[in-house]
Amino acid sequence: MAESVLALQSVSKSFRDVQAVCGLSVEVPGGCIYGFLGPNGAGKTTTLRMILDIIRPDSGAIQVFGNRSASDSKDRIGYLPEERGLYPKMRVRDVLVYLGRLKGLDKATARTTVTRWLGTLDLGGWADRRVDDLSHGMQQRLQFAAAVVHSPALLILDEPFSGLDPVNVELVKAQILSLRDGGATVVLCTHMMEQAESVCDSILLIHSGRKVLDGRLDEVLKQDGAQAVMVELEGDAGFVRELPMVAEVTPSGREIVVVLKDGADDQVFLRSLLDRTRVRAFRPKVPTLREVFVRAVKSATG
């Protein structure tokens, strides 16, 4: 495994009587996209702000590039906050050049890099317009450009797909993957499981400030213990819920997704179906990240 770029050890944070993060530990190796995932209010943004030294943990330790504070490596870090933080009255090109220079770029390099990123993110025609002239989605792409203009070694993205239409989601995803392939480490914080599943190498699932699952995405999906099958039946499928080996049934177009109880034999289930009706399709179902997360949270909360 690559050397850790980011490490959290037993990190906790409370705000008065609210426990936002509780005993969180994770190691993020270099050159990967690591998803910090969970529902709204799970503690994701609080965790990112502690990593960035915006707020301090109550207990535990955080290391970034081997240092105890992100402030020691601030020019190597890019950050896209969930809230927009650009100067609304500045021109698009000027605000990016300004932010690039704050991160150590000389003026000529900053202007060249800004021009490239504006073209890549389909904002070139807006370079001389004010930030507040841009649409919601354009401002999100501009915020992304502001986070990457200085070619950070560690890129922290908080809800990067917020406000983007499907075409621009794919545009930003392609750039995230390109940055990873170029050697950058990306921490991607989102509640959008489908987007995370399509881009992340590893994931940390957080619920109520606590770690639920952590590891490489393929391994997390494989270790999910639920046995599920996709089934298409002829006629009414309502009886399936009443079969003794069935834990859960969810419609999916013409098919139904059937989660079997622990220890149930899918072949016994199939024979039970054939005793009642004609089976048009029957196949194992690979779990999605959303399904794994929901089952893990249910298990963790009893």
Tens-place pLDDT, residues 58-72: 999 999 999 988 989
- Please tell me the pTM assigned to this model: 0.83
The dihedral of CA 72, 78, 79, 85: what is its sign?
positive
pLDDT at 2: 60
Contact criterion met (CB below 8 Å) for 119 and 112:
no
Contacts of 231 (CB under 8 A, 6+ apart): 237, 240, 255, 256, 257, 258, 273, 279, 281, 282
SS3 161: coil
What stretches of the chain show up as alpha helix (H) in DSSP? 44-51, 92-102, 107-120, 136-148, 166-181, 193-199, 217-222, 266-274, 289-300
Residue with tokens 């797909």: 161
Contact criterion met (CB below 8 Å) for 137 and 165:
yes
Sort 128 into a burial class: Cβ within 10 Å, 0-12 / 13-18 / 19+: exposed
Find, among 7, 42, 10, 15, the residue nearest to 297 by Cα: 42
Give the span between the Cα atoms of 128 and 130, in whole angstroms.
Answer: 7
Banded model confidence at residue 105, pLDDT cuts 50, 70, 90: very high
Contact criterion met (CB below 8 Å) for 43 and 206:
yes
H or E element at residue 59: strand 59-64
Domains of the chain, each with CATH number or no CATH = 4-222 (3.40.50.300), 227-286 (3.30.70)
The dihedral of CA 177, 179, 185, 191: what is its sign?
negative
Statement: residue 136 has pLDDT above 90: yes
Give the span between the Cα atoms of 257 and 276, in whole angstroms.
Answer: 18
Out of 145-159, 218-232, 275-289, least confident range: 218-232
Q: What would the two tokens of residue 48 be? A: 């990112």
Statement: residue 115 has pLDDT above 70: yes
Give the span between the Cα atoms of 2 and 38, in whole angstroms.
Answer: 25
SS3 114: helix
Q: What is the pLDDT of residues 233-248, one digit of tens each?
A: 999 999 999 999 999 9
Residue of 21 and 284 predicted with greater confidence: 21
Statement: residue 137 has pLDDT above 50: yes
Find, among 281, 295, 186, the residue nearest to 229 by Cα: 281
pLDDT at 1: 43
Any idea of the CA torsion for 44, 45, 47, 53, to the nearest 10 degrees? 170
